[in-house]
């Protein structure tokens, strides 16, 4: 049994005048436990809608989402969604430790254990020494590290990530990609990642689904089987990496402008 199954999912939005916009066409896919999978697609194709629907935050117009054999009908406790705008998701009035401990406490851990676990996660995301800082005292990349630590504190069976590195500078983004891969390898979480950055999807994932323009459909499934641990310079310099990138780019580019 797959940890996550998406069956013939579609989602439309009702507009003010009564018309409907079809954001997701018809998506079927399965994610296996421990996999790192990505959706890559053009801007506005329905990626966030897809993730929100999988997370149970939006009801599907048709189709089903099944997590660990149970149909999703509201936000399930075993999925955590990390939003595109991470800086809005941290609690400004809580320190780094307070933010991460919130996630640990939500899992029912008692105070001393929660503290130790939160500190461990903070160290894992590379923020040891910043436990008592507040979000506004941190750079964007550091805030995103806190958001990742807090998301992992819930011990989700599947971590859903919506373009989590989209607003970071290029170098910070590469660093965070490696941090995420390290955490994923260590904690054995299943990750469903969304990005419009083709190379980021290839670098991180085991499998990639290429989405069409809206209404989004899967137009291609690609295996990214580069050996792990991957390396920002050598993995990306492989001829196969370039070939895959060009292949996906053509898939997306061939669809013309909307």
Ligand X SMILES: Nc1ncnc2c1ncn2[C@@H]1O[C@H](COP(=O)(O)OP(=O)(O)OP(=O)(O)O)[C@@H](O)[C@H]1O
Residues that bind ligand X (CB under 6 A): 13, 21, 23, 43-49, 196, 214
Distances (CA, A) of 29 to 38, 51, 55: 11, 13, 15
Cα(227)–Cα(222) distance, rounded to whole angstroms? 15
Q: Which residues contact 242 (CB under 8 A, 6 or more apart)?
A: none
| Nearest CA-CA partner of 61 in 110, 25, 104 | 25
Site string for Mg ion, 177-216 (x = CB under 5 A): ----------------------------------------
Shortest approach of Mg ion to residue 58 CB, angstroms? 13
Of 46 and 60, which has the nearer Cβ to Mg ion?
46
Q: Does 48 engage in binding with Mg ion (CB under 5 A)?
A: yes
Task: Closer to Mg ion by CB, 44 or 140: give it.
Answer: 44
- Three-state DSSP at 2 gives coil
Residue 167 found at the interface with Mg ion (CB under 5 A): no
Query: CA-to-CA distance for 128 and 142, rounded, in angstroms?
Result: 11
Structure tokens, 64: 């089903």
Residue nearer to Mg ion on the CB measure, 155 or 162: 162
CB of 214 to ligand X, least distance (A): 5
Closest CB to ligand X among residues 13, 91: 13
**Binding footprint of Mg ion on the chain (CB under 5 A):** 47-48
């Amino acid at each position: 049994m797959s940890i996550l199954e998406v069956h013939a999912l579609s989602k439309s939005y009702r507009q003010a005048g009564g018309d409907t916009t079809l954001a997701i066409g018809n998506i079927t896919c399965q994610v296996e436990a421990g996999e790192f999978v990505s959706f890559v697609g053009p801007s506005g194709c329905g990626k966030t809608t897809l993730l929100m629907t999988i997370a149970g935050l939006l009801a599907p117009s048709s189709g089903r989402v099944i997590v660990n054999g149970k149909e999703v009908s509201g936000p399930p406790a075993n999925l955590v969604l990390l939003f595109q705008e991470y800086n809005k998701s941290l609690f400004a009035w809580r320190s780094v430790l307070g933010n991460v401990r919130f996630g640990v406490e939500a899992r029912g851990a008692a105070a001393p254990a929660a503290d130790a676990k939160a500190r461990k996660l903070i160290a894992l995301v590379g923020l040891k020494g910043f436990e008592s800082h507040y979000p506004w005292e941190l750079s964007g990349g550091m805030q995103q590290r806190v958001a990742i630590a807090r998301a992992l504190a819930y011990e989700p069976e599947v971590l859903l990530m919506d373009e989590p590195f989209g607003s970071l500078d290029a170098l910070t983004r590469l660093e965070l990609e490696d941090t995420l891969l390290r955490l994923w390898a260590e904690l054995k979480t299943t990750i469903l990642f969304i990005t419009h950055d083709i190379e980021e999807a290839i670098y991180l994932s085991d499998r990639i689904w290429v989405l069409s323009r809206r209404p989004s459909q899967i137009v291609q499934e690609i295996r990214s089987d580069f050996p792990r641990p991957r390396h920002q310079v050598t993995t990306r310099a492989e001829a196969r990496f370039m070939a895959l990138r060009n292949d996906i780019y053509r898939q997306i580019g061939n669809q013309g402008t909307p």
